[in-house]
Amino acid sequence: MLASPRGLWRPKGVYPAAADAFAELRARRGTGENPAVAIVTTGASLDHTHPVLEEGALVLTTEGTAGALRTAVPAAAEVVAVNAGDRVDVGRALETLRARGHGVILSEAGPTVFGQLLADGLVDELFVTISPLVAGRADPGRPALAEGVELLPGIRAESELASVRRGDDHLFLRYRRRGV
């Protein structure tokens, strides 16, 4: 959300050229016009005015933060406490989503949540985009792809290439976790 301050994560905004095709696919699958958006947060960096909250996003948080978030976010957003403690248990957050009928969950998590998803074995597939734009890092403290967990040698988040697609100068790689 910090990287997309105006993002709504809707087909018409993400890839406008294919918005009609996405709508047709979702209709054939029996899902609503737009996918549900869930936000996992302790509230510390949550922008309470983010437009996706006005669209009715689900906010998954801790018991200690839920009350304050309920009063801070727009009424259209729903705040659900998934566990006690200082951090949101990502496994319980996924259980909450599945209990609400969300069988397919796409996570665009930051490095800490993504690292926890990997460490807990909760990532089935990984989508990687390779862009011809190269960006450097001047800040040595900038996070990596997965943060907050030691994955090797104890945890192997190993995947196999499932598909490769090309769109203009971009490559879209899809990996499936081995053993899933």
| Spatial separation of the C-alpha atoms in residues 150 and 146, rounded to whole Å | 9
- What pLDDT, on a 0 to 100 scale, did the predictor assign at position 19? 86
Residue range 52-73, pLDDT digits in tens: 999 999 999 999 999 999 999 9
| Spatial separation of the C-alpha atoms in residues 88 and 34, rounded to whole Å | 25
Mean pLDDT in order along the chain per 10 residues (180 residues):
79 82 89 89 92 94 97 97 96 96 89 91 93 82 82 85 94 87
- What pLDDT, on a 0 to 100 scale, did the predictor assign at position 180? 58
Residue range 69-86, pLDDT digits in tens: 999 999 999 999 999 999
| Spatial separation of the C-alpha atoms in residues 141 and 148, rounded to whole Å | 13
- What pLDDT, on a 0 to 100 scale, did the predictor assign at position 179? 67
Tokens of 15: 């890839």
Centroid of chain to Cα 167: 22
- What pLDDT, on a 0 to 100 scale, did the predictor assign at position 33? 80
- What pLDDT, on a 0 to 100 scale, did the predictor assign at position 122? 94
Burial 55-82 (b: 16+ CB within 10 A, else e): bebbbbbbeebbeebbebbeeebebbbb
Let me know: does 163 contact 174? Beta carbons within 8 Å.
Answer: yes
